Structure 1
Amino acid sequence: MWEKLVLKYTSDLFLIEELWLELKESYTSVDRYYHNFEHINLMLELAEKYSQLISQQHQLIFAIFYHDVIYKATRSDNEEKSAALAVKRLRELGFPEEATAEVHEMILATKKHLQSNKSDTNLILDFDLAILGSDWESYHNYTQQIRKEYSFYPDMLYRPGRAKVLKHFLQQPCIYKTAVFRDALELKARENLTKELNLLR
């Protein structure tokens, strides 16, 4: 999907390969147990499944590829750094400036996951959190992967921090920002989050 997309904006095969290798190096890093290509591929599959709901297909796909390209569990500015790198790389590809700004905005939105007035932004937020509404086995596996990414924290620090994240989502009026995801996953997501929260106590 990467090559097919970027060939619409550049014929520089060296640049295409170089940027792909950069993405690959980031998402296959040894400390990535959840924020890896499996997560990206799931989001890309959802983008294909719900393509009829997407207004700006290319912007959303680029945002998926770059939204976690910079990820360090010790830092709180991953989204900002990922968005900045996306802008730099999309400019190299010759992607239109206004569209690049939209990608930047989508990536920043994945930091707080708040309702947006832009439908594509709401979709990428829901794609990003689709795992929360999965079956318990898949959800539990996700929680174990997240724990590994934060393995440098002892339980006495990790548990309250994780609980705070879970409560943040549970306190939102809606975890999912689009009607289609709310209808399909909202109840299950709340069930999973509540179950994990109880296990942390």
Structure 2
Amino acid sequence: MLEEEYQPRRRLPRHLAPEPAPEAPFAYTLRLVEAPDLPYIREIYNHYVENSTVTFDEDTMTLAEWREKFYYLSRLGMPFIAAVSPSGQILGYALVAPWKQKKAFRFTVENSIYLGPASTGKGLGRVLLAELLDRSKAAGLREVIAVVADQGADASIKLHESFGFHEIGRMGKVGFKFERWLGTVLLQKSLK
């Protein structure tokens, strides 16, 4: 055997070592949700149903249920937006829905924001919430309510507070999921 086979490999000095390839930028556009987006929105939402307490739903939503919700919100003129990657992948979505069914509540909505697991921690929730609030105000809505789980959703509470939402109440032990009791934190923002 050759002697050079046993010599340790030399390393390049740091200043000569090749730089790692830069990470691709996190790119997306915001647009209104369209009916063909619904299977992807269902997938994002159902991930949270099955793996977290940020939603109190215990049963995954079907595509038929999402279609019904989509057409209902469309008829009411409620903002329902998606963040879409350059390749067309739905990265996350945000919507508002009527707070209550009684007519007197028609200017008050509850917001929802859900991100695909690979899209969290990149500032997308902040962008979606800003756009959702702008579109809600343009639609003539006045009050936005956020109902956030009191466990495991600290980032959501901080996000809403950074947009001027104020805590208006708490309800303890109103939900039971994954063999534990959960409460909610209610936050509100005026759009006037």
Report the TM-score when normalising by structure 2.
Answer: 0.31
Greater fraction strand = 2
Find the structure with the greater CA-based Rg: 2
Report the TM-score when normalising by structure 1.
Answer: 0.30
Of structures 1 and 2, the one with the larger relative CO (CA 8 A, separation 6+) is: 1
